[in-house]
């Protein structure tokens, strides 16, 4: 990549020097036959295809299924770097949970003027049905994904928070399984912290959030919208790995004030429901009356304290990108400490001065929808044509409150295995966090997404990105 020198390379200090976390790996790689590695790369693709690790691309003909490309060069993080990151992630997730408890309760942060009241009141992600109700154990965000980017040796930024239904953990687990099968010798030479206990930790964490009335071992189930959902593989994978039932809305009903699932032996009560169905479709009696995916009356059972829904309805407001811009203040308000993880500078286009600045500098900025995800509905100014910028400016003027803007960061690169050897590509990282009354558990590593197109900053699988195994080294 012609401009690679402008970016922090996580593996190479220069053409000769290798950064410390990669030194053992580099010794191994330098002795490997490139043709063997090419063969292994094709084996990995065959393994993913055989396992059925696909995702759907919507908005295209027949919503075709695709493999997410896997790159066999791992991303390696030192124990020192991870320890520092973990503290910042734990602090941020603690603050997000406290924020949700407050927003649906006393709203102290609004009274204090730290977050503008209209940003909550006029927000489509705000769920009035959650007002005055505390979920079991006061946990709103049972599973969280925090998207991080890096710009230098010690410079990490939070790009966005995923508190609603973070996806991608199945790829983290399968990427590691694939690497262990293909290169077992690497894991004896490099002391890599394991990720394989995530399903066991997830089950344990969800069980710890069971409602008060639960006696004995909690019954857990995963609620999926069904086989046509883009993340269906992950839903079935996690249910299987946890040893719990995978259910759809039509499998569930209210029985004697509890939610029960249909089994061959009749209906069985569920204590904890890990739902991968959006709020709007969760309960046709309380949200969208046309929904065929949810369970009529589940919100009434929930508010009566007879089931735990993970993540809690209404958590999506913490994903809002306008709320994101207040996160350093939110962290300080609830923890009494300065945020350990930095935000990316953000302009809220709902504010006239910010809008004027953004319109004047569109060619240099990244503009995102406040409720957007998956890389859709965004403008990457430096990669856009004059025509695209003009069209986006018109959208901004029409509905400025729908957008935020950020500078184009100089994202770090990690090498990928390309036809002509190693080539740098931009990456981000989504660590996965489990929250229960017993504490916060952060899986060492997470999902590294990589922009496979040369020079591209968009890592989303729906936009042509791939994934890598992420190693966190032991001391």
For 416-461, the pLDDT digits (tens) are 998 888 899 999 999 999 999 999 999 999 999 999 888 777 777 6
CATH number at residue 354: 3.30.1490.270
Q: What percent of the chain has pLDDT over 70?
A: 94
The reply to whether 383 falls in a domain is yes
The CA distance from 405 to 349, in Å, is 7
The CA distance from 279 to 464, in Å, is 28
Whether residues 253 and 281 share a domain: the answer is: yes
pLDDT at 65: 60
Q: Which of 261, 380, 368 is nearest to 319 (CA)?
A: 368
The CA distance from 441 to 373, in Å, is 25
CATH number at residue 227: 3.40.50.11290
Three-point CA angle 58, 64, 66, nearest 5°: 100
Three-point CA angle 314, 316, 319, nearest 5°: 150
The pLDDT confidence band at residue 76, using thresholds 50, 70 and 90, is very high
Whether residues 258 and 376 share a domain: the answer is: no
**pLDDT tens profile 171-226:** 999 999 999 999 999 999 999 999 999 999 999 999 999 999 898 999 999 999 99
pLDDT at 331: 98
Answer with the one of 393, 408, 423 that is the final residue of a domain: 408
pLDDT at 61 over 50: no
Whether residues 429 and 470 share a domain: the answer is: yes
pLDDT at 137 over 50: yes
For residue 365, give both structure tokens: 């900025």
The reply to whether 123 falls in a domain is no
The CA distance from 252 to 181, in Å, is 39
pLDDT at 59 over 60: no
Structural domain of 390: 345-408
Provide the number of structural domains found in the chain: 3
Whether residues 388 and 421 share a domain: the answer is: no
Whether residues 78 and 154 share a domain: the answer is: yes
Whether residues 419 and 391 share a domain: the answer is: no
Whether residues 402 and 416 share a domain: the answer is: no
Three-point CA angle 240, 241, 244, nearest 5°: 55
Reduced to 3 states (helix: H, G, I; strand: E, B; else coil), residue 387 is: helix
Q: How does strand 220-223 pair with strand 245-247?
A: parallel
pLDDT at 393 over 60: yes
Whether residues 423 and 465 share a domain: the answer is: yes
Answer with the one of 360, 384, 408 that is the final residue of a domain: 408
Whether residues 172 and 236 share a domain: the answer is: no
Q: Which of 220, 253, 246 is nearest to 232 (CA)?
A: 246
The reply to whether 318 falls in a domain is no
Mean pLDDT of the chain: 91
Whether residues 59 and 158 share a domain: the answer is: yes
Whether residues 360 and 404 share a domain: the answer is: yes
């Amino acid at each position: 990549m012609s401009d690679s020198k402008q970016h922090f390379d996580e593996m190479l200090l220069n053409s000769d020097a290798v950064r410390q976390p990669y030194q053992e790996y580099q010794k191994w790689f330098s002795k490997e036959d490139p043709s063997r590695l090419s063969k292994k790369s094709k084996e990995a693709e065959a393994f993913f295809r055989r396992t059925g690790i696909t995702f759907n691309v919507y908005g295209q003909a027949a919503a075709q299924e695709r493999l997410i490309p896997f790159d066999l060069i791992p991303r390696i993080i030192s124990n020192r770097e991870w320890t520092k990151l973990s503290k910042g992630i734990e602090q941020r997730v603690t603050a997000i949970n406290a924020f949700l408890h407050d927003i649906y309760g006393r709203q102290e942060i609004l009274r204090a003027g730290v977050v503008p009241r209209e940003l909550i009141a006029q927000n489509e992600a705000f769920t009035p049905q959650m007002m005055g109700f505390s979920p079991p154990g006061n946990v709103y965000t049972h599973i969280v994904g925090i998207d991080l980017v890096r710009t230098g040796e010690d410079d990490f930024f939070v790009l966005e928070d995923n508190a609603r239904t973070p996806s991608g953990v199945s790829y983290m687990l399968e990427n590691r399984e694939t690497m262990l099968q293909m290169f077992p010798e690497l894991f004896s030479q490099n002391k890599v912290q394991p990720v394989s206990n995530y399903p066991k930790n997830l089950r344990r964490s969800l069980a710890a959030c069971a409602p008060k009335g639960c006696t004995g071992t909690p019954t857990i189930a995963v609620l999926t919208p069904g086989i046509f959902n883009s993340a269906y593989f992950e839903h079935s994978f996690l249910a299987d790995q946890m040893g719990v039932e995978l259910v759809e809305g039509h499998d569930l009903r209210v029985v004697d004030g509890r939610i029960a699932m249909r089994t061959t032996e009749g209906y069985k009560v569920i204590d904890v429901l890990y739902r991968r169905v959006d709020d709007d479709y969760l309960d046709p009696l309380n949200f969208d009356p046309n929904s065929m995916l949810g369970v009529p009356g589940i919100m009434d059972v929930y508010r009566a304290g007879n089931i735990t829904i993970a993540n809690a309805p209404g958590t999506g407001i913490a994903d809002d990108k306008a709320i994101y811009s207040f996160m350093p203040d939110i962290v300080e308000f609830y923890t009494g400490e300065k945020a350990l993880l930095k935000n990316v500078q953000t302009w809220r286009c709902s504010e006239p001065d910010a809008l004027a600045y953004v319109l004047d500098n569109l060619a240099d900025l990244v503009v995102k929808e406040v409720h957007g995800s998956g890389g859709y509905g965004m403008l990457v100014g430096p990669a856009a044509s004059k025509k695209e910028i003009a069209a986006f400016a018109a959208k901004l003027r029409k509905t400025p409150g729908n957008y935020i803007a950020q500078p184009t960061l100089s994202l770090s690169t990690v090498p990928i295995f390309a036809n002509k050897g190693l080539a740098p590509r931009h990456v981000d990282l989504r660590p996965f966090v489990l929250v229960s009354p017993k504490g916060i558990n952060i899986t060492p590593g997470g999902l590294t997404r990589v922009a496979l197109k040369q020079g591209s900053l968009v890592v989303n699988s729906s936009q042509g990105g791939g994934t890598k195994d992420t190693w966190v080294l032991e001391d």
